[in-house]
């Protein structure tokens, strides 16, 4: 089981897309909870989170979400990112066999051409982040956002795909 954390600000539509890709995993018991860590939304983000059964944290950011998470493994996602069918098997295998953090592979539709890849400034959470709570908690003391927490971590590549969120 894992806890999914999504840090957001005024992303109600993107949040809904991400949550819809988690429904199947919640039904089979892979996703224990979804925690939405809000950074001051003024749109309907809170209503989207609450109507879909998520825990909504209005204060404390990603650090508060990590402390509240009930699972030993955390999955950090950007609002708008969508996990491609079949991801649960790869995540389950990783959680059983590995201790290090992992990221998803980009879906072929979202892969950048080589030239753009060389010069693009990549967001650290573009491909999600699967990490043990015990590893994330000390990192969250220094990192004020999920993006900062994910930056610079050595990770393994999962055999599962993600449709990346469009940059805001």
pTM of the model: 0.93
| Alpha carbons 139 and 137: distance in angstroms, whole number | 5
Query: Does 21 score more than 90 pLDDT?
Result: yes
Backbone angles phi, psi at 24, to 5 degrees: -60, -40
Buried b (16+ CB within 10 A) or exposed e, 39-66: bebeeebbebbeebebbbbeeebbbbbb
Q: What is the pLDDT of residues 88-140, one digit of tens each?
A: 999 999 999 999 999 999 998 776 665 555 566 677 899 999 999 999 999 99
* The pLDDT of residue 146 is above 60: yes
Q: What pLDDT does residue 155 have?
A: 96
pLDDT tens, 37-77?
A: 999 999 999 999 999 999 999 999 999 999 999 999 999 99
- The rounded distance, in Å, linking the Cα atoms of 66 and 73 is 10
pLDDT tens-digit profile of 24-46?
A: 999 999 999 999 999 999 999 99
pLDDT for 19 equals 97
Instruction: Supply φ then ψ for residue 133, to 5 degrees.
Output: -60, -40
Distance CA 58, CA 56 (A): 6
Alpha helices in 40-132 (DSSP H): 45-51, 61-68, 87-97, 114-119
Nearest-5° angle of CA 138, CA 30, CA 95? 50
Per-residue pLDDT at 109: 79
**DSSP three-state, residue 137:** helix
Can you give the pLDDT at residue 110? 74
Task: Read off the pLDDT band of 5 (50, 70, 90).
Answer: very high
CA distance 83 to 128: 9
pLDDT score for 108: 83
Q: What pLDDT, on a 0 to 100 scale, did the predictor assign at position 121?
A: 64
């Amino acid at each position: 089981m894992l806890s999914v954390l999504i840090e957001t600000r005024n992303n109600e539509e993107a949040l809904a897309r991400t949550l819809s890709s988690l429904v199947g995993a919640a039904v089979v018991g892979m996703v224990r909870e979804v925690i939405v860590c809000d950074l001051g939304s003024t749109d309907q983000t809170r209503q989207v989170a609450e109507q879909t059964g998520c825990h909504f944290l209005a204060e404390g950011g990603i650090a508060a979400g990590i402390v509240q998470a009930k699972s030993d493994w955390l999955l950090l996602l950007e609002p708008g990112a969508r996990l491609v069918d079949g991801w649960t098997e790869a995540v389950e295998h990783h959680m059983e066999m590995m201790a290090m953090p992992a990221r998803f592979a980009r879906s072929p539709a979202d892969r950048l051409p080589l030239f753009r890849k060389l010069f693009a400034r990549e967001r650290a959470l573009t491909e999600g982040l699967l990490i043990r709570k015990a590893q994330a908690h000390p990192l969250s003391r220094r990192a004020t956002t999920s993006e900062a927490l994910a930056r610079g971590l050595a990770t393994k590549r999962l055999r599962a795909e993600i449709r990346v969120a469009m940059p805001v």
